[in-house]
Every structure is written in C-alpha cells, then in structure tokens.
Amino acid sequence: MKMVKAEGLTYEYIKMLETDHGTEEEKVAALKAVDLEIEKGEFVVVLGHNGSGKSTFAKHINALLLPTQGTIWVEGMDTKDGELIWEIRQTAGMVFQNPDNQLVATVVEEDIAFGPENMGVAPEEIRRRVDEALATVHMEEYAKHTPSKLSGGQKQRIAIAGVLAMKPDCIVLDEPTAMLDPVGRKEVMETIERLNKDEGITIILITHYMDEAVRGDRVYVIDDGQVVMQGRPKEIFSQVERLQQYGLDVPQVTEVAHLLRKEGLNIPADILTVEEMVGTLCQFKLTT
Amino acid sequence: MSIQINHLTYIYNPDTAFEKKALDHVSLEIKKGEFIGLIGHTGSGKSTLIQHLNGIITPTKGEILLDGENIHKDKAKLREVRRRIGLAFQYPEYQLFEMTVYKDVAFGPTNMKLSPEEIHKNVVAALETVGIAKELYEKSPFDLSGGQKRRVAIAGVLAMNPEVLILDEPTAGLDPKGRDEILQAIKHLHEERGITVILVSHSMEDVAKLVDRIIVMHEGKAAMEGTPKEVFRHVKELEAMGLAAPQVSYVFAALKEKGFDVPLDVFTVEEAKSVLLDLVRQVKA
C-alpha cells in the first residue's frame, strides 16, 4: 500500500471579487487533476512558487481540505470518508511554518502530551511517548521549559515532537524553516532526516530552500495546480532554466555549474553540493 | 543624515531573575546614503538594535545621535525621529488594514497632516518606487500576492519620506520570485532616492548581492564589520556565530584548503563563474 496516493485530485473554491457591478463570484482551481504516489519511508520534497497549489495539496493529506473532484488516499484511507478522519490525521501529522502558532501549552512536555491526551491514550503511555518524542528531537532537557522562551528552531522541534507523540507514519511539513535563522534551519533539517532514516517515517517536505530540497529522495514540482516535474533531485535540478521558468531557484553551486557548462566547460549538469563542485573542479588540475 | 551609536547598552528586565543584556556597548557609525546589511542569529541583538534606532526603546546606557543630536534629548521630537527613520517590521503585510492599496499607503502621510496634493504625490511616488502598478491602487491589499502585499507595506513607510529605511527580514517566507521583486524594489529605492538603507536578513546570498557594508551582531556586540568581501572570507568565524556564508564561498574555501591558488572573497554566482572560468582557461593556455 502506498503512503499517499492521489488520482485526479482537484480542488476548486469560490473567490469573491469586488467589481464595479458589485460582488461577483469566481471559481478558482487550486489543484487540477493531480496524480501522484508516495511510497512508505520516502523523503519527498514538494516545490512550487507561492500560489502554485503546494500548500493546498499538503492540506489534503491531512484531510484539512477535501477534494472537490478525484480522490486522495492516506495508507489506503479515502480522506472523503468522514469516519476515518481521526485515523487519517493520526497517520499523517502536520507541521506548519510559524512555530508560534502551533504550540498550545505553557510547558513543553504538556504541549507534546496534548495530541495523545485528546486521543484518549493512557497516562503511562502518554508519559512514555512524550519522553520518547523529546529524545527523538534532542530536546529532553527542555521538558519543563516554557515554549515561548525557546528559539524558533527549538519551537519547531517541539511542534515535531507533538506530532511524533501521536505515532504517525507520515509527517507533512509546510515550509517548517521559512521563519528560522541558519542554526534553526540546520536543527530542523537534521531532525527531519533523522526521523526519515532512523524511524522510517515518511516525510513530505514543502520548501522554498533548494539546499533542503536536494536532500530528499524525490522531488515534485507543482505549478498552477499541476505536477509539472518529478524525479530525483539530480534529475530535477539539472534543468536550471526550466526551474527558473517556474519561479524557482537552484542551489548556487548548481547555477555556477550551469553557467560554466554554457561557456563550454565539461562539467556535469547535476552538481548539487559544495563537495561535488569541489570534486569536479579538482579534476581540472587548476594552478596550485 | 548620519547615525552615530555610542556605547549602546540595553538590558531587558533589569534587576530581576530574567535580566538579559541584549546590547553590550555597541558603537557604530552609519553614514548618509549607505546600504548596510545587519546579520546575526536569532537573539544576537539585531532587532533590539533597530528598535533603538527608531526610538521604540530607550537605551539603558549609551546614546544614539542623529546628525549629532541625541534622539532622546527632547521627547517631543521622537515623533519626528520616527518619521525620518522609517522601520518596516517583519511580516509588514500583517499591518495592512485599509480598503484599498492607495488608502493604506496614504495612512502615514495623512497622519502627518500634509496637504492633499502632497499626500497624493508621496503615495504615487512610493508605490512607483516599489513597482506597484496603477491598476492595483484601488484593489484591496488582501487580494494581492505575498510579494505585492509586502511591497505595499514598504511603500507605506516610504510615503512618509524617511531619510533612513530599516527593513527587518523583508524576504522572510517569500518564494524566489517574491523575494527578487522585493530586493529589486529595495535596490531601486536606494539608488533612486539615495536614502540610507539598513537591511536585516538571514539570507547571506541576498546580503552579499546588495549591500555596501555588513555589520555582524553576536551576543549583543557588533562582532564584525566590513564590506561583503571582507566579512564573507571569514567562513569559520561566521559559522561559530551561528551564521553561514553564501554557498559558493564554501567552494573556494575548500579549493584553497586543497592547495589551489584561489581568492577567498568570492560569494556571488556571477563572480564564481568568471573566477573559475579564468582559472580553467589559464591552465589550458
């Protein structure tokens, strides 16, 4: 069974427009017949400029939005089945952009316990899950702290721990590092990679940062509500001009490699990291 | 107008268990027309510093001189200080509230009791500077894209004709297109109006591309100062302060470590391309 499967996933909504003739309704399609499959244990990145539909897609995985046409299944569960909604939300947890909007309690461990408490989990089991979740995000020593006094990166890790305490199989993160400084971004990315590699949790990461996107197993590019590209990071990022056309960036080193290729140098198009760039350049036997 | 900061110290919650020194004897000078990049990790003191410049908080110790005059000398003049030094907060689009783009930008100049003609002139000039088209003037600001909203919010500050514009992370949360629009607008207003710009940013790539001088804040002190070329060659020191250099800087640092004769002050894509191209061609020739 796939972790997430979408067939003809379409989402339309009515937008009210103020015009000279009064208010008019306009139908907007945020997602247009999206087909995709995400395997269990995969680390998938979703890219797209603002308004491309990627957040709308993310909200479908968690049944926060329901398709107006087509179907999306989470571990085989159709999100349109109202009976399954809590099971779906427990299976696929969500972490949002703003760390300040997701924490509810005044003590870190109480915040993490919020989810399992609402699920009716037994107190001893809650205790165990909270401790485990804190250990997984490397925040044990902050159990008794106040979330408001933590850094942005720490707050996001607590938000992730809160999702972990519900024992999800999949975590959807919608631009979790957009509001963080470089240290916070690094902490959160390391946590995400650990969850994927060590805990086997399926990760669906929505981001604008290309250096984060290159760390995924597979990348989907969404533009105007449709999947326009998909593949391994190397396949996607070697198409610099096409990405730029969709309003996206490539990592600085990839762009340098692209420009050097255009000048006729024999450099691979799929350079994504500093190490790869240095390795390639060393073969040119530069002046020492 | 020049800004002179002398031994600026600020302590949050003094004489309590939560006492925290946010600024520790910071001394800086910012000259008229400069484009400054202010960087530092969260909690380094950069937000506290810019709030001082705008007179929102009063120093515990030290002083801020605006054209030689202490901004807190005469409390009645603080309003004037805030007009001359405009501050666009983080996520300024949250502060949009009017029915139309035009009215939102006009709010500041209207409060300044300018004549209707002057208000109109300021509003149009500000919106033009940030690249908002006339067709959008009568739209609700809430119908705009993220990047447009933010440019309208910045125009609201510009419409008061500040001599210094401080922008606190103006590109946070925007996609690459929205980010480029904002940076283009900022570059344009700096060149066109010649006003002093202080850009607070976590994006070293943005800072590298735009500013004349970088000030690095760390633990409440101005830890480093210099042109991008001077600052970004200190990759290790920046990392120790929880910061990073632009990605290409790391390529050159690694090449140098391997014994290649490369410059260390390369940090933009264009520059990297031409330096590497020269190197390779030199060898071939």
Question: Which domains can be identified in chain B, with CATH numbers?
Answer: 3-245 (3.40.50.300)
Residue identified by tokens 């790539």 is B205
pLDDT at A161: 94
pLDDT at B30: 95
Query: Hey, is the C-beta of B125 within 8 angstroms of any chain A C-beta?
Result: no
Element containing residue B106 per DSSP (H, E):
helix B101-111
| Segments in chain B below pLDDT 70 | 283-285
Chain B residue nearest residue A276, CA to CA: B251
Q: Residues of B with CB below 8 A from A265's CB?
A: 277, 280
Other beta carbons within 10 angstroms of residue B86's beta carbon come to 22
- Among A9, A119, A115, CA closest to A65: A9
Q: What is the DSSP letter of B94?
A: G
Whether pLDDT at A3 is above 60: yes
- The shortest CB-CB distance from B242 to any of A183, A255, A259 is to A183
Chain A residue nearest residue B273, CA to CA: A256
What are A163-180's pLDDT values in tens digits? 999 999 999 999 999 888
What does pLDDT average to over chain A?
Answer: 91
pLDDT at A97: 87
Q: Do A263 and B176 touch (CB under 8 A)?
A: no
A165, A115 Cβ separation under 8 angstroms: yes
pLDDT at A285: 65
What are B96-140's pLDDT values in tens digits? 888 999 999 999 999 888 899 999 999 999 999 888 999 999 999
Task: Give B87's strand partners.
Answer: B166
pLDDT at A91: 95
What are A54-73's pLDDT values in tens digits? 989 999 999 999 999 999 99
Whether pLDDT at A211 is above 90: no
pLDDT at A85: 93
Q: Do B261 and A288 touch (CB under 8 A)?
A: yes
Residue A286 confidence class, pLDDT cut points 50, 70, 90: low
C-alpha span between A156 and A58 (Å, rounded): 18
From first CA to last CA, the distance across chain A in angstroms is: 55
Residue identified by tokens 């302590």 is B11
Query: Hey, is the C-beta of A182 within 8 angstroms of any chain B C-beta?
Result: yes
What does pLDDT average to over chain B?
Answer: 90
Query: Hey, is the C-beta of B56 within 8 angstroms of any chain A C-beta?
Result: no
Query: Hey, is the C-beta of A104 within 8 angstroms of any chain B C-beta?
Result: no
What are A111-137's pLDDT values in tens digits? 999 999 988 899 999 999 999 999 999
Q: Residues of B with CB below 8 A from A252's CB?
A: 205, 246-248, 269, 272
Q: Do A281 and B177 touch (CB under 8 A)?
A: no
Share of chain A above pLDDT 70, in %: 98
Q: Do B260 and A181 touch (CB under 8 A)?
A: no
Q: Do B41 and A181 touch (CB under 8 A)?
A: yes
Q: Do A256 and B273 touch (CB under 8 A)?
A: yes
Query: Hey, is the C-beta of B209 within 8 angstroms of any chain A C-beta?
Result: no
Chain B residue nearest residue A279, CA to CA: B255
Per CATH, the homologous superfamily of domain A4-233 is P-loop containing nucleotide triphosphate hydrolases (3.40.50.300)
Apex B98 CA angle, B93 and B104, nearest 5 = 70
Whether pLDDT at A21 is above 80: no
Apex B172 CA angle, B25 and A204, nearest 5 = 130
Q: Residues of A with CB below 8 A from B251's CB?
A: 253, 256, 274, 277-278, 281
Most trustworthy range by pLDDT among A67-81, A245-259, A260-274, B204-218:
A67-81
Whether pLDDT at A288 is above 50: no
Chain A residue nearest residue B271, CA to CA: A256
